[in-house]
Amino acid sequence: MKRTLSGLMALLMLLCLAPAARAEALAVESQACLLMEKTTGEVLYAVNEHEQLEPASVTKIMTLLLVMEAIDSGSLRYDDLVTASAYACSMGGSQIWLKENEQMTVEDMLKAVCVVSANDCSVALAEHLAGSAEAFVDKMNQRAGELGMKDTNFVNPTGLPTQGHVTSAYDIALMSRELILNHPDIRRFTTIWMDSLRDGASGLVNTNKLIRFYQGATGLKTGSTDAALYCLSATAERDGMELIAVILKAPTSTQRFESAKVLLNYGFAAYGLGEAQLPQPLTPIPVTLGDAPSVTVRLEGERTILAAKEKLAAMEAAVELEERLDAPVEAGQQVGRMTVTSGGETLAVIPLVAEQAVARLTYWQIAQRCLRMAFMGG
């Protein structure tokens, strides 16, 4: 038999049903698009999200991710000097015109990649980290595989046109999420609108116009070539919720930014984040034949729920717990669950687990306990 506790769900913010990926048609002008919420990874809207397309310089999100992972692991420092090779200086396209053997800090090269999409700095960083651009591309594809980017094949660290260099809107969202979720320091660079390098000699203006003109914009990366047309992974945060809007193969630069704004506006208007709260404190569960009389219980896993705003008033939570447990009990063992519902629909099921282990009494301990009880009773 189980104890059931019911009550109105307490939410920190807005809560509702898990979103459908394409609830309505939005005015997005691109070959493919996708809107994802950062914390949960939920897809809120998508069109042709797994179509393999050229990403142009949006590729550099993976380059940035590998650099930030190296920095955060301690194997690379912001003030390390990177030396530009002749190959890095030969990239063409967007660049800051590095000269062969010119040295620049990792921080300044990161800034150049994030703000003006510098191809020369992308290759210089790749060579510095992996020894060669080819070896770095191997790392890019390995990391893509680890992230579940099944539509992706990288051929270079820049996104310059190369046969077989493809990804998808969904995969771009995956690597964008990994970057902004686990390496938030990247915002120091992706939110720059104007800056300079080389003691002011080289001016920088962000290729991502949303940084200046969209409320809450946090990044992330533009891209364009004749074949890829106009691409963008745009991130923005409002009221504690950060969204990722991916646009691939928009006809014009203006249309990619406007389409990203349509996706972001839709997400911020329709959805919010809430934190699941227990309807009342949980009492310990008794344990039979354990070396402790009971075990305490806690929620296990992510409490954040992505929700549509109109479902807020109908939120409820119910808790089911085991009435009694038999020893042994393992720490982390599931002993119940909390179910979040709205209008009879299940939104989330969050496990309840034992906080500590409880060992089973040995025969000798049981005998000692029986003797003690008999003695006390006498």
Q: Which residues are catalytic?
A: 57, 60, 117
CA 219, CA 237: separation in Å to the nearest integer? 10
CB atoms within 10 A of CB 75: 10
Coil, helix or strand at residue 101: coil
CB atoms within 10 A of CB 290: 19
Angle between helices 133-146 and 119-130 (to 10 degrees): 90
Which of 165, 164, 208 has its CA nearest to residue 187?
A: 208
Q: Are 338 and 276 in contact (CB under 8 A)?
A: yes
Q: Are 70 and 76 in contact (CB under 8 A)?
A: yes
* Cα first-last separation, the chain: 35
Backbone angles phi, psi at 334, to 5 degrees: -70, 130
What is the helix (H) or strand (E) element at residue 255, kind and residue range?
helix 253-270
List Cβ neighbours of 31 (8 Å cut-off, separation of 6 or more).
48, 51, 53, 229, 248, 249, 250
Backbone angles phi, psi at 278, to 5 degrees: -65, 140
CA 6, CA 28: separation in Å to the nearest integer? 43
**Angle at alpha carbon of residue 166, lines to 192 and 266, rounded to 5°:** 55
Q: Sign of the CA dihedral 198, 201, 207, 210? A: positive
Number of helices (H), then strands (E), in the chain: 10, 19
Q: Sign of the CA dihedral 256, 92, 203, 199? A: positive
Question: Strands 194-197 and 202-205, how do they pair?
Answer: antiparallel
CA 91, CA 338: separation in Å to the nearest integer? 55
